[in-house]
Amino acid sequence: MNYDYAKSLRLEAARQDRLSMIHQPHIRPLTDYVHDLRRRGLCEVPYFDPLDGGVDARYMFLFEKPGPKTSVEGSGSGFISRNNNDESAAATFAFMGKAGIDRKDTVLWNSIPGWNGTIKITADEARTGGELLAELIKLLPKLEAVVLVGRRAQRAWNKVGPQGFRVIHSPHPSPVVRASQPLLWNLIPKIWATVHGDDGIASIIRRMRRPKQSARLRPPFKARKPRGVLACHLLVRRKITIVY
C-alpha cells in the first residue's frame, strides 16, 4: 500500500512499512549515522525518511528541532518526515508538491537532531547541532542546495561556515507563522521552488533588513512594535509587509 500522503504516519501500518525500508542502500548510511548519534547520548534521534532521497539527495531542508510527533515514546513515528501527524509536516508535504520538488531529490533534517521532551533549545544543543551538521554533509555527496527552514536553522548553519552550496532562507511552515503572517506562509512554496536555480524571491527575503522605526511604513499598514518588520516588493504591484 502507498502511505505517501499527509499525516499517513499516524497509522501503525505506515510506520512499520517505513521501518522495513531503513536499510535500503540509499538510506542505510544515514540510518547508521542516526544509530551513531543515539550511542553518543543525543536523546531520541529520529530516522531519516527512506521515501526521501537519502544519500542521493540534491537538496537538504534543514528544520529546527524534532517535535513530539517524531517520538516513538509518545505517539510519534520515529522519523523526521513530511508524513508525520502534525500540521507543520502536513504543510511541508503540500508545499513540496506546490514547489514541484521531487521527493527523491530531498533529505529532511533538524539543526537539533534529538528530541528531549521540550521544544526549547539550550545553548549547548545549538552548539552541538551546528557541529553535527558538518558530519552529515559528508554523507551527502550529491548535495547542491540547503534550505534553512526557520531562524534557528539559519543560526545553526552559520556555525558550519561556507560549504559551496546554494543556501536558501525560508520561513517555517508552522501554524504559528500561518496564523500571524499568512502572506509570508503562502510564499513558502515559491521560496522552496528556488532550489531549482532561480533564487529571486529567496534573495529578496534574505537581503531584507529590520528597520529601526516601524513608522517608515505607510498606510494602510499600522506601526507595530519592532518585531522584524520587513517591507519589499515581491512579485506584486503594491507594497506588502512581511513580519516574521
Task: Name the pLDDT band for 228 (thresholds 50, 70, 90).
Answer: very low
174, part of any domain: yes
Burial group, residue 118, by CB count within 10 angstroms (0-12, 13-18, 19+)? exposed
Total number of domains constituting the chain: 2
> Does residue 169 register a pLDDT over 60?
yes
Q: Which amino acid is at 220?
A: P
pLDDT tens figures, 199-224:
555 555 555 444 444 444 444 444 44
Distance of CA 13 to the CA centre of its chain: 26
Are 141 and 71 in the same domain?
A: yes
Residues 20 and 97 in one domain: yes
Residues near 161 by Cβ (< 8 Å), separated by ≥ 6?
A: none
Q: Indicate whether 237 and 199 sit together in one domain.
A: no
Which uninterrupted H or E stretch holds 110?
A: strand 106-110
- In a domain, residue 1? The reply is no
Least confident of 42-46, 165-169, 196-200: 196-200
166-170 vs 79-80, strand pairing mode: unpaired
Contact 59, 109 (CB under 8 A): no
Q: Provide the pLDDT for residue 118.
A: 64
Q: Are residues 163 and 228 in the same domain?
A: no
Confirm whether 71 is domain-assigned.
Answer: yes
Report pLDDT for 203. 52
Residue 220 and residue 111 in one domain:
no
Domain enclosing residue 227, as ranges: 208-244
What is the CATH classification number for the domain harbouring 105? 3.40.470.10
The pTM assigned to this predicted structure is 0.79
Q: What is the mean pLDDT of the chain?
A: 81
Residues 222 and 120 in one domain: no
> How many Cα neighbours within 13 Å face the side chain of 23?
1
Q: Are 163 and 220 in a shared domain?
A: no
> Is 243 strand, coil or helix?
strand
Is residue 162 located within the same domain as residue 225?
A: no
Output the pLDDT for position 71: 75
- In a shared domain, residues 219 and 115: no
The x, y and z cell numbers of residue 68, run together, are: 513530539
